[in-house]
Amino acid sequence: MRLILLGAPGSGKGTQAERLAEAKGLVHISSGDLFRKAEKEGTELGKLAKSYMEKGLLVPDEVTIKMILERISEIDQGFMLDGFPRTLEQAQALDKALNKDGIDKAIYIDVSREELLRRLSGRWICKQCQAPYHMVSSPPKIAGRCDVCGGELYQRADDTRETAQKRLEVYFEQTAPLIDYYKESGRLLEVEGERSIEEVKENILKLLS
């Protein structure tokens, strides 16, 4: 199974990808996590990505496509992409690399703009494994510590109100058109994202079965 999670910043892609990958035995591949890891390691890719991420802009297609296709080539099982593709060029490159059938399904998580901003401003992330939490809707069991690996939690630099607004603008302009791209090829599944984390997960699993 080759799946994509599609949705605006804060829609719950990372939250659901982690849970769905575990339930379905898929590898979770997040472009944002890979960029943040590269940034932490201080690589050239990380420095380049940081210069775009801190402004809320997309990292250039060429670099992003190369990074993701390399990651996909390393695994020989199903996967769940989170945050990629984000432009038409990325979507086409992915389909081409996966031969004629391309990906199986794109799952679109629909959330209103107001709720997206509320979620981003209350989000905390694990420094080690990047699992996302929310101060109000999904707090960790121990304050400041990741439930999964015990790592320290922090707030992403691009989750300030100003940068989050910019990311939303970029999403509606460059990424939202992908909803039609997958709808037209009969591969789009849509889920209402303003329900509890568990309900959203169960609804996606139902759609996939």
Residue 156 annotated as catalytic: yes
With CB under 6 A as the rule, give the number of residues binding ligand AP5: 37
Residue 195 annotated as catalytic: no
User: 145 with 152: CB under 8 angstroms?
Assistant: yes
Residue 86 interacts with ligand AP5 (CB under 6 A)?
yes
Distance in Å, CB of 70 to ligand AP5, minimum: 14
Where in 132-171 is the site for ligand AP5 (CB under 6 A)? 132-134, 137-138, 158, 167
Residue 118 annotated as catalytic: no
Alpha carbon distance, N-terminus to C-terminus of the chain: 12
User: Which of 19, 36, 50, 86 is the catalytic position?
Assistant: 86
Residue 40 annotated as catalytic: no
Q: Which of ligand AP5, Mg ion, none does 15 bind, CB closer than 5 to 8 A by kind?
A: ligand AP5
From the list 8-16, 72-80, 97-105, 146-154, the region that binds ligand AP5 by CB under 6 A is: 8-16
Biggest CA-to-CA distance, the chain: 47
Binding mask 25-44 for ligand AP5 (x = CB under 6 A): ------xx--x---------
Cα→Cα distances 86→61, 151, 171, Å: 9, 29, 8
From the list 7-15, 100-108, 144-152, 183-191, the region that binds ligand AP5 by CB under 6 A is: 7-15
Nearer to ligand AP5, 83 or 102 (CB): 83
Cα→Cα distances 30→6, 100, 101, 207, Å: 12, 23, 22, 22
Residue choice 3, 19, 50, 64 for contact with ligand AP5 (CB under 6 A): 64
Residue 71 annotated as catalytic: no
User: Which of 119, 123, 187, 201 is the catalytic position?
Assistant: 123
3-state secondary structure of 22: helix
User: 153 with 126: CB under 8 angstroms?
Assistant: yes
What is the chain's Cα-based Rg? 16
Binding mask 112-131 for ligand AP5 (x = CB under 6 A): -------xx-xx--------
88-91 contacts, C-beta under 8 A, 24 or more apart: 88/177, 88/178, 88/181, 89/61, 89/65, 90/61, 90/64, 90/65, 91/178, 91/181, 91/182
3-state secondary structure of 188: strand
User: 123 with 134: CB under 8 angstroms?
Assistant: yes
49 CB neighbour count, 10 Å cutoff: 24
The residues that are catalytic are: 13, 86, 123, 156, 167
Binding site for ligand AP5 (CB under 6 A): 7, 9-15, 31-32, 35, 52-53, 56-59, 64, 83-86, 90, 119-120, 122-123, 132-134, 137-138, 158, 167, 196-197, 200
